[in-house]
Chains A and B, each alone.
Chain A
Amino acid sequence: MDPRLHRVLDGELDRDQLPADLRAELERLERATALLAAAPAAGSVAARVLAAVHRPHRALAARVGQWLYERHAVTLKLRPIWSLALAAALALIAVLAGRGTGPAVLAAGEGIAQFVGRFPGAHSVEVVGSFNDWRSGSLPLTDDDQDGVWNAEVVLPAGEHQYMFVVDGEKWVVDPLAGRYVDDGFGRQNALMIVRPVVR
């Protein structure tokens, strides 16, 4: 790139001093910049910010207390050897305590939803839907044998739930195996899961 172009763009040289070919390059760059400047950005976040601003700012102790009380997804990165040792230790504790691995305890009106998707090469997959306010970060799927098939079993209230998969943190993907779909109101479709209540 001719240094005179930089000088014009940095306001050190008048554009009239450029030869025609460089002026064409300059205009090409300016058109690209104008395009980026006019490209759509997100809608206003003012309401969200002001809501947060008006929310009382709780003391540190209260925030720590709530953090300790709330449920969090915890990811442990262990060397395989430590994972095996940990698994063995937990199995031993379970055996010694005389407890098997019984079924999940479900409340009345709850059922188990199984989410399965094939996403070879994905780094992470999670499910978001009407059951978690479409918020990411709470229901990860796992692919323990790294065959590209990710799954999760989640206890949900019985009934219909809309959902989508979020791959690698930002690609929203409709479950191709869902079988049932509903319009999301924005011209796309959400997958539909019907959870049956557990029979006691």
Chain B
Amino acid sequence: MKVSSRVSPAAPDADVIARVLAGDADAFGVLIQRYEPGLLRFATRMLGSVDAGADAVAEGLVRAYRHLASCREPGRFRTWVYRIVANRCKSHLARRSAGDVSLEDVPAMPDPEDGEAALERAERLAQVSQALSRLSPEKREAFVLKHIEGMSYEEIAAATGARIPTLKMRVHRAREALLEALKEHA
């Protein structure tokens, strides 16, 4: 990846954003490096598909770049860009018809050469992924941001626009549904 040599990879988001807005487009690579892994994880879990997740993140990051000047609090870029990608995920979900099932909702076929532990792990992951995919998008979003991306409720509120009590309720319901599904498969 081409990353601007004039921006330290450790520079605060606000400094990097100021550099990008001053015309150094390559500096945006620093922000991509910083947030891409989490965004890909989030979008993949939201959409249940690696390819759709990549599309949503790519679209979201391009949109973030184009509208960077409208990021009012550059120090909170993380939640701002998660909000953009979350909206791209919702658009992708809305385009799917109700009966659609992602290919990755189907348990993966592990390679027998991977060994028993890996097979068991793949099976457990398929079960958990399926349970996650059965949640409503709002609950899934809140759960993934809380427990996979490690955000606080305040950060999730900034990323989703929902109120904290609503988010707590969504996360609680998601945990209950997930735990129930895990018990079924125990």
Contacts and interface: CB of A to CB of B under 8 A. Distances in A.
Contacts of A35: 121, 124-125, 128
B65 A49 contact: yes
Contacts of A43: 54
A14 to B, nearest CB: 18
Given A36-B125, A49-B65, A50-B2, A42 B57 contact: yes
Contact of B58 (A28, A36, A49, A172): A49
A53 B179 contact: no
Main secondary structure of the interface of A (DSSP, over half): helix
B103 A36 contact: no
A63 B40 CA distance: 29
A41 B25 contact: no
Interface residues of B, number: 53
Given A35-B128, A41-B41, A170 B65 contact: no
A42 B182 contact: no
A32 B182 contact: yes
Contacts of A9: 147, 175
A169 B96 contact: yes
B25 A42 contact: no
A45 B35 CA distance: 11
Contact of A50 (B32, B57, B144): B32
B53 A42 contact: yes
A57 B66 contact: yes
Interface in B5-40: 25-26, 28-29, 32-33, 36-37, 40
A41 B40 contact: yes
A42 B54 contact: yes
A123 B1 contact: no
Interface in B152-168: 153, 168
Contacts of B100: 123, 168-170
A47 B148 contact: no
Interface in A3-21: 5-6, 9-10
13 contacts: A9-B147, A9-B175, A33-B147, A35-B121, A43-B54, A45-B58, A49-B28, A123-B100, A169-B95, A170-B51, A170-B96, A170-B102, A171-B103
Interface of B: 1-2, 25-26, 28-29, 32-33, 36-37, 40-41, 43-45, 49-54, 57-58, 61-62, 65-66, 95-97, 99-100, 102-103, 121, 124-125, 128-129, 131-132, 144, 147-148, 153, 168, 172, 175-176, 178-179, 182, 186
